[in-house]
């Protein structure tokens, strides 16, 4: 299976987190393909449209944790993804849209004061 550009960037991001930090890192697998029946079951189990790609469940001095929506190239976050991000900001979490693993790394470093 050939990896897409966003998948490659997310793998680079996770590898950096593992190698260079002690931060916990979660990927939310909302991009899967499934049957309508399986999709209905997943929805009943709590899968939500628009949830960000990455969650780092560690607080900094002002936020409970960090959500990152990773996009590559000309891709833009959907209205549902931005709505989710705004809801997370209202709940006291950080939320960023990054357009590369490098940009996400800079955001993480800034968010957690790693420089």
CATH assignment of the domain containing 91 = 3.40.1350.10
* Number of domains forming the structure of the chain: 1
pLDDT by 10-residue block (mean), the chain, 115 residues: 90 98 92 80 84 96 97 94 98 98 98 92
Closest to 28 in 3D by CA, of 54, 49, 5, 48:
54
If residue 98 lies in a helix (H) or strand (E), which one and from where to where? strand 94-98
Which pLDDT does position 31 carry in this prediction? Answer: 67
Distance CA 52, CA 110 (A): 19
Domain of residue 13, residue span: 5-111
Predicted structure pTM score = 0.90
Which pLDDT does position 34 carry in this prediction? Answer: 79
């Amino acid at each position: 299976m050939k990896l897409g550009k966003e998948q490659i960037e997310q793998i680079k991001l996770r590898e950096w987190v593992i190698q260079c930090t002690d931060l916990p890192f979660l990927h939310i697998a909302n991009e899967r393909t499934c049957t309508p029946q399986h999709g209905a079951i997943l929805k009943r189990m709590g899968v939500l449209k628009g949830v960000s790609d990455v969650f780092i469940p560690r607080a900094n001095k002002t936020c409970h944790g960090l959500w990152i929506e990773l996009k590559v190239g000309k891709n833009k976050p959907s209205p549902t993804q931005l709505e989710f991000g705004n809801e997370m900001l209202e709940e006291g979490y950080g939320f960023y849209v990054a357009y590369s693993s490098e940009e996400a790394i800079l955001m993480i470093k800034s968010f957690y004061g790693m420089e």
